[in-house]
Amino acid sequence: MNEKERLKSLIDNPKKPNISEWVYEVEAFLEEIDENNEEAWELIDGIKKQGDAFHRCENLVALLRQIYKKRYDKILIPPIKKRNQIFVAMMFSDEIDYIYEVAYKPAIQEHNFSAMRIDKKTFTGSIINEITDEISDSVALIADLTGNRGGVYYEAGIARGLQLCNHPIKLILTCNREFFQTEKVHFDVSGDNILLYDNENDLKEKLSEAFWELFWEVEE
């Protein structure tokens, strides 16, 4: 058994085959992993001296669970492989495609980033896995909420989840001002800082300002 499996076995099988052998196995394991939990060592000492009469075996098991959670129950942050990629999530329409080509893509490239739109990529396999991988590999995700498409909110949600895991991805919410004022965005994000744009030139200018604030001013 590996280290993780051994600790799980000690937690799941307290006092087995008997309390004396179990507590010595716990002691040997904690020494191997250089665990310096003083309370654990006090409990081990008491159980070694008094056996079942010590009535603190459950406390030691609880501490072992804490150690397990600390060492192994961690959410691993996916590494960013494409250091200059920005993922763009948006509805699929001729109008928004035009905005992408004349505003999003050039604004991203002018700041030495590469633009990623999942519908522009050729791949095989699960599109969900591909989306998740590409977002995890991005330094930022732009979610254009114009049209209130579920897929855009889904992709923005992936970025939010990565941020909760301390992934450095930035999330930029954008929306056409007229749509925002007449149709509204989903109430869950309506109070967030949303970059509203009137046209492609307005969008390019505001994206440039946003990139500067998110990436360059912070580094100085």
Per-residue pLDDT of the chain (220 residues; tens, 9 = 90+): 889 899 999 999 998 999 999 999 999 999 999 988 889 999 999 999 998 888 888 899 999 988 888 887 765 666 666 678 999 999 989 988 999 999 999 999 999 999 999 988 877 778 888 999 999 999 999 999 999 999 999 999 999 999 988 888 999 999 999 999 999 899 888 788 999 999 999 999 999 999 988 886 544 4
Amino acid at 206: K
Residue 7 and residue 64 in contact, taking contact as beta carbons nearer than 8 Å? yes
pTM of the model: 0.65
Q: How far apart are CA 137 and CA 112, in angstroms?
A: 16
